[in-house]
A = this chain, B = another copy of it.
Amino acid sequence: MTATPRRTQAERREGTIAAIVDAAVAALGEVGYARTTTAEIARRAGVSQGGLFRHFESRLDVIFAAADAVRARQFDDFREGLGALTQFDVAATVRLLRRATRAPINAAWYELLVAARTDAELQARLAPLADRYHREIIEMGRALPIAASMPPDELDTLVIGIVYMLDGEALTASVHVDARQEDARVEQVVRILAGEPAFEGESSAPRQA
């Protein structure tokens, strides 16, 4: 019945580990950190609980591997989206960023951020990953064509600020969405990045030397 495909030990190992990590990422996104139990992960991965602990010493080790997978995948996905644009467009780029922050996989990242706040061990493991994430976002921003039109550190601050803003929007999205404001927000960001005032003032009397 069961045709055994004859895989090497390394292949079996690798495949099982990948299944467990994928399962953990999906579970974090779908049921949250607290309910991402070893039983839940094993069930989703099609592995027994004992089998899971053959490859990971603890639940935290699985979680950590999942966190790094999320970080890596988010960049792959975003760069893929950027590459699909026929030409650079600030509004489209901001919408890509929003799509990234709203992606199910990114919800897993938020779960980890929040859990890390009150879990010292997780915090210690996650901090280096978060630093790297932060660095990669900045690098990504500097690689954008718009980088030529403003000082690098001002761009860095703007890019991170925009990402933070979309993070806040994504977090609140589970209990409150305002589609009209979301569109308006993209337009404001576009104006800011274009070096224009953020709003169309009716009586814009510029003061301050």
Contacts and interface: CB of A to CB of B under 8 A. Distances in A.
Q: For chain A, which range describes its interface: under 10, 10 to 19, 20 to 34, or 35 or more residues?
A: 35 or more
A96 interface: no
A134 B182 CA distance: 14
Interface in A105-149: 107, 110-111, 113-119, 123, 126-127, 129-131, 133-134, 149
Interface of A: 30-35, 107, 110-111, 113-119, 123, 126-127, 129-131, 133-134, 149-151, 153-158, 160-169, 171-172, 174-176, 178, 181, 184-185, 188, 192-204, 206, 208
Given A131-B176, A151-B202, A192-B197, 11 more contacts: A126-B175, A130-B175, A134-B176, A157-B185, A164-B165, A164-B169, A166-B168, A167-B171, A195-B201, A196-B197, A196-B208
Contact of A117 (B163, B174, B200): B174
A168 to B, nearest CB: 3
Contacts of A174: 113-114, 116-117, 123
Contact of A168 (B119, B123, B165): B165
Q: Give this chain's copy count.
A: 2
Nearest to A28: B118
A176 B130 contact: yes
Contact of A201 (B150, B168, B185): B150
Nearest to A125: B175
Contacts of A166: 164, 168
